[in-house]
Amino acid sequence: MGTTQADLTRTAGKPIHCKAAVARKPGEPLVIEEVIVALPKVHEVRLKIICTSLCHSDVTFWKLKDFPGCFPRILGHEAFGVVESVGEDVHDLKEGDSVVPIFLPDCAQCIDCTSKKSNNCSKFEFKVSPWMLRDGTSRFTTVDGETLYHFLSVSSFAEYTVVDIANVTKIDPCVPPNRACLFSCGVSTGVGAALKSAKVEPGSTVVIFGLGAIGLAVAEGARISGVSRIIGVDINSDKFEIGKQFGVTDFVNSNSYGDKPISQVINEMTNGGGDYCFECVGMGKLVQEAYACCRKGWGKTIVVGVDKPGAELTFKSFDVLHLGKTLIGSLFGGLKPKSDIPLLVKRYLDKELQLDKFVTHEVSFQDINKAFDLLVEGKSLRCVVWMDK
């Protein structure tokens, strides 16, 4: 990784001047500039970012003109790093620890975090805030004193960042950095949605709406679970060849059936619907299509995609009562960051979970805007950005 204890000791105890890729205006290329990263405060750690990867959420908020979009901001939330220094009252992390920052807080103390039934921390409500978790301030400034906003409690498009301990999970240092960063968001979300939220069963039929990185991660989780059939639904036929690598057995191009509802196509293909239907795009009408093609009696529809704020869903009360289907949401795949991520890491180290096929590109930090271009153009699943290469 190129980081030694001497490197960490040299910077501890003082503000750090380093490079960050700053989003200054909606949709415009990030600007790599010198920033100052403050010392970590109580219950915080400062991380040296080794590599980061680009997620669609970064692109969404990069383009967003209205709040919760705000500028200037340091985006990025999928990353692998090393603890450079710790603030007061930090007991479970120390300098040199290998970690992944995760947008979803896990305080490990509240009723939700100590329950196996929830990953929605009640002490720190998840929200897209431009500030640090506890005190509502920033740890980033420019050399001219301008405040820079945080993103999803991580802000990994910088050589150093400050993160609350509720958003940091230790990870086995045996995992290569360019694979470890994938555990921060997308891959964990998809795999977790299949394994933990849906608890897909061997021999079942799975339907996935949207074969982006998260949809393919759902397929990977379903493959691990031993399902017999994975039907991928997308508007891009090229996704089928990619999907085969992740266990997708059938492909439906939703643009190929005219006015015929895709739910009807799926119901006919499966003789009554899928056992588990995952919506991984973030569109209300697709959630309703997924619900319409999950099997009556025991079918589950799992909402994984993030829709626009204020979007609503409409279902007939008669259908909800009489069809016996289940509709659930799956934020971060239902995973509890501090306890479930180590289990996924073990699956990777045991060669059960395959991560290599998710990384389609790798670039240097100086070329981070190329990573945005690749994702926007649909040419990459995950592009890893190396800070030192």
Q: Is residue 136 classed as helix, strand or coil in its secondary structure?
A: coil
Q: Does 223 score more than 60 pLDDT? A: yes
How does pLDDT run across 274-331, given as a tens digit for each residue?
999 999 999 999 999 999 999 999 999 999 998 887 889 999 999 999 999 999 999 9
Q: Does 167 score more than 70 pLDDT? A: yes
pTM value is: 0.95
How does pLDDT run across 257-286, given as a tens digit for each residue?
999 999 999 999 999 999 999 999 999 999
Mean pLDDT of the chain: 95
The structural domains of the chain, ordered by start, are 187-333 (3.40.50.720), 358-388 (no CATH)
- Residue 247's alpha-carbon distances to 205, 243, 269, 319, 334, in angstroms, are 12, 7, 18, 32, 22
CA 383 to CA 81: how far, in whole Å?
A: 17
Q: What pLDDT, on the 0 to 100 scale, is given for residue 5? A: 66
Rg (CA), the chain: 21
